[in-house]
Structure 1
Amino acid sequence: MTMSLPQQAPSPQHCLIGPLPQLFHGELAAYGAALAVADTSAPVGTALEAFLDGPQLAAALALFALRFPGAHPKALASTWSKLYFNALLVPVLAASSACGWCFPLAPGRVRFLADTDGAPLRFVLEDAGAAHPALDSAARLQPLVRNHLTLVVDALATQYRLAPRLLWNNAAVIAEETLLQCQLLMGAQPRIAADLHFLCATAQWPDQLANPLHQPTRLVANVRQRQLCCLRYRLRLDFCADCPLDCRQRQAAQRKLA
């Protein structure tokens, strides 16, 4: 979809749940394996709220930083957030848009597991959720954004002094690309189109608050570009394919890093 995830096959204790086996199979199974159901006899991971509020977030980022020696902390946190949003939003939005599926994603009902290198690995849920095809986009998706994503954005923005709008753009670009891929693979299904419009094309939601995911990209010379740079270049990596920096800005950034 958007960012690479660990490519190991899902182990038996992390069998794909809900509609995910039908949506993610073969080489795509790792996307679905990012969601699992908790084993109450042996809890795995850390309660998400405790992970974000305690020292474990910083510890995970410190491990993640070992992959990019000397990288700017803001760039590390931004890139980590992209991996987090990718692991969460790809399976959640695919299941929601394709099947009307709702997972229990309130922060108090989720345990989080980081990989050995600190990167996001898995979300362990209380149960597999259920299909609610009669619910509209707002009912299915607004709680995900207002509760779960807001908590993650606030934690990263506070601890790493990142602009919240940058983190929201990271999430929104992944949401948009996921739903565009769903349209490409599954055809013009009304629910997918409605979810894409609700998440990425609606400036204000029914609660009268601004949609933080609104308009994540723009077309420049028929090329889709992010609204904000994700700071990837500060990891001394190539620019993203949808990077908004123009050639002059890229050259200046590269001179600064030299």
Structure 2
Amino acid sequence: MAMGGHESVAHPGGSTVLSAAFAGPHAWCNEKMVLSADLADGMPLAEFFASGAFDRALSTYAATFDGGDRRAVASMWSLFYLSSLTIPYVVAWALERQVLPIRFDEMTVALSADGLPRALGVPAPGDWSDEDGQEIFSALQPLVDEHLVRVIGHLKAVGGIAPKLAWNNAAVYIDYALRTAGTEPLSNQADAMTSLRLMPNGATNPFFDCLRHEEENGAQVCRRKICCLRYLLPGIASCGSLCALPSQRNQ
């Protein structure tokens, strides 16, 4: 990676905008991915997941559903976490060729009162690459190896959700980020992410076949392979055509 020609920008309030990509339709990323130095109530991720704080966060969130199915609670919690992690990361890469430092042991997390992740902290703005022709797996490899593998292990151990479900949850947001970041080549990258069995380094691609784009009533729809279990929680809306369960798509 090569630094050069890129600087972080300070908000009037003193916090730092991590990426020039976090503007316009992606401005909300500024609230979800920040410098750890600006996240005053942040806790190191390793401590959060290993100390019992994650278990307590799930219990706090479950209380909003009068208990609720533990796996469904953990899956919904992961949707908030994974969207806050993967969308800013992919948007910064797709639009600025900026690779945010998302190593699990170097990040922090802050929670809302309901136990959901409010924001994630990173140690620095990261590096920029001068290569325009990078393919998606070059960006996804550190995200997978340095972060998602660790988090998904905790989601299974504490939340009881299957790794395949958690990988599917992550794939939805990576696909969304690529397709909304702009151009047709990025849509092609999103297709490649879920269509190849192996990553370029020969490792199994955890996103393989997680999503399928199908034609329905004359329109292209994106569909999950594995349901996120939200239908088991009262008051949570269906994810519509995205749902893997035909019975839940129109709820």
- Assess same fold via TM > 0.5: yes
| Counterpart residue number, 2:207 | 213
C-alpha distance after superposition, 1:26-72 (max 9, x if no partner): x75332321111329x9641111111122110111122112211311
One-letter identity of the residue aligned with 1:16: V
Q: Distance in 2 between matches of 1:33 and 1:16?
A: 9
Shift in CA distance, 65/37, structure 1 to aligned 2, threshold 3 Å: same
Mapping of 1:180-219 within 5 angstroms? 180-182=179-181, 186-188=182-184, 190=185, 192-193=186-187, 195-218=189-212, 219=214
Provide the rounded CA distance (Å) in 2 between the counterparts of 1:109 and 1:194.
32
One-letter amino acid of the structure 2 residue matched with residue 172 of structure 1: A
Structure 2 match to 1:232: 230
For residues 232 and 34 of structure 1, what CA distance do their matches in structure 2 show? Answer: 22
SS, match of residue 127 in structure 1: coil
Distance in 1, matches of 2:189 and 2:15, equals 28
What's the secondary structure of 2:223's corresponding residue?
strand
Alignment of 1:61-76 (within 5 A): 61-76=58-73
Tell me the SS of whatever aligns to 2:56.
helix
Q: Which residue of 2 aligns with 1:120?
A: 117
- 1:1-258 matches, cutoff 5 A: 12-20=13-21, 23-25=22-24, 28-39=26-37, 44-134=41-131, 136-182=135-181, 186-188=182-184, 190=185, 192-193=186-187, 195-218=189-212, 219=214, 221=216, 222-236=220-234, 237-241=236-240, 242-247=242-247, 250=248
Distance 1:162 1:123, change over 3 A: same
- Specify the SS of the correspondent of 1:33: helix
8 Å contact from structure 1 (residues 18, 130) kept in 2: no
Q: What TM-score does the superposition give when structure 2 sets the normalisation length? A: 0.83
Q: Structure 1 195/224 Cα, relative in aligned 2: closer, same or farther at 3 Å?
A: closer
Q: Is the 8 A contact 1:14 1:33 kept in 2?
A: no
Would the alpha carbon gap of residues 195 and 13 (structure 1) be closer, same or farther in structure 2, given more than 3 Å must change?
Answer: farther
Rounded to whole Å, the distance in 1 between the matches of 2:83 and 2:224 is: 16
Contact 1:137 1:194 in 2 (8 A): no
Q: Which runs of 5+ in 2 are unaligned?
A: 1-10
The 3-state SS of whatever aligns with 1:36 is: strand
Distance 1:223 1:37 in 2: 36
Report % sequence identity: 25
Shift of 1:136: 4.7
Q: Name the CA shift for 1:106/1:231 in 2 (closer, same or farther; >3 Å).
A: same
> How far apart are the structure 1 equivalents of 2:76 and 2:140?
24
In the superposition, the TM-score normalised over structure 1's length comes to: 0.81
Instruction: For 1:152 and 1:160, locate their aligned partners in 2 and report how far apart those are by CA, in whole Å.
Output: 11
Structure 1 counterpart of 2:75, one-letter code: S
The amino acid of 2:105's aligned partner reads G
Distance (whole Å) between structure 1 residues aligned to residue 237 and residue 110 of structure 2: 28
List 4+ stretches of structure 1 deviating above 4 A.
none
Deviations 1:156-181 (A, max 9, x none): 11112211101110111111122111
